[in-house]
Amino acid sequence: MKVFDEIAVFGCKATTLFLLENLNIPFKIRHLITSDPEAGQKHDVADYLDLKEIAESKGISVYRAKYYSLKNPADQEYLRSLKLDLAFVVGWQRLVPPEVLSGLSIGAFGMHGSSMNLPLGRGRSPMNWSIIEGRQAFYTNLFRYDPGVDSGDVVDTFKFQVSQRDTAETMHFKNTLAMKYLVERNIGNLVRNEFKLTAQNNLLTPTYYPKRSPEDGLIDWEQDVHVIERFIRAVTRPFGGAFTFSGSRKINIWDSQVFDLNDFGYENEPAGSVVAVFGSGKFLVKGFGGLLLVNTWDADFTPQKGMQLGNNGLTVKQFERNPLGFFDV
């Protein structure tokens, strides 16, 4: 039985590194396709890592793509020259062009998931959106890439919990563990080209989450305090963070919690006002429906009781919602 074991990984993030260091399979990862720090900065890749030195220390050949999109003819010619069988795409965050896919004897396989499962919730930042929407479960899929957006046939699926403590970071931890598990569970069939593919449900109309940008992290103090708390968890590190202003001073808020639904006598204070500062420096902000305790923020900001937090003239971006009130449209 022929084994197709010319295996590559595409990626340039901390999740890519975790896979390279922890994937337990009886086949060697031979190639890493990645990008250089300049491209990582240019494309604002959250949690970017320069993996060249680490990969080479493991005996993995490294190719830094000239263009993050892999649409450059020189990149495509080089990848074809590798005569790859399999590629696992993790921490790449770009489509893989058909010119690259056609050069793989088995295919390129990546992860995508959503709280409703595919084809619902294709598109960008589904884990961030799952926290914003208050979802409780996430289905992540190992699927074979085709030229579309998250439209490939599925090899295997893993479901995990979205807890009330999950953040953008812990969701990425869970999704990376899911990828590791699914690759390990399916690698034997993949390298022998004996795996089964399941088409996404064609009875459902696909929906797509929109892209989130760092400037979309502006806090809307007119929202319910629970919505704000979820929002802060959803965009915290490794992303740009939720932010607000005291006057013209920008403040990033990295961690918070709903303190209490009782206003403790602060019910007449305006939303977004700092109503108490504790000895530890942590502070309470009045919100609709209760009080928000801010635990972690920019180190060079000193909160003071009576401060009013706001938008400094900026407009909070309003994303389109579907008929159910969610953001995949």
pLDDT surpasses 90 at 112: yes
How buried is residue 91: exposed, middle or buried, by Cβ count under 10 Å (0-12/13-18/19+)?
buried
Is the domain of 166 the same as that of 79? yes
What is the C-alpha to C-alpha distance for residues 36 and 152, in angstroms, rounded to an integer? 28
pLDDT greater than 90 at residue 40 = no
Q: Per residue in 170-206, pLDDT tens?
A: 999 999 999 999 999 999 999 999 999 999 999 999 9
Spatial neighbors of 98 by CB under 8 A, at least 6 apart, are 147
Same domain (yes/no): 199, 219: no
Mean pLDDT (whole number) for 15-28 = 96
- Contact predicate 191/86, CB 8 Å: yes
Q: 130 with 271, same domain? A: no
Residue-range definition of the domain harbouring residue 244:
214-310
Is there a domain that residue 316 lies in? no
Residue 37: is its pLDDT beyond 80?
yes
Q: How far is CA 217 from CA 54, 177, 224, 251, 326, in A?
A: 33, 27, 16, 11, 18
Distance of CA 106 to the CA centre of its chain: 26
pLDDT (mean) for 56-61? 97
Shared domain for 106 and 75, answered yes or no, is yes
Q: Are residues 189 and 224 in the same domain?
A: no
- Look at residue 82 in the predicted model and tell me its pLDDT: 97
Which residue in 289, 137, 315 sits closest to 227, CA to CA?
A: 289
Q: Is 42 a domain residue?
A: yes
For 149-174, write each residue's pLDDT tens digit: 999 999 999 999 999 999 999 999 99
Q: How many domains does the chain have?
A: 2
CATH number at residue 282: 3.10.25.10
pLDDT tens digits, one per residue of 67-98? 888 999 999 999 999 999 999 999 997 889 99
36 pLDDT exceeds 90? no
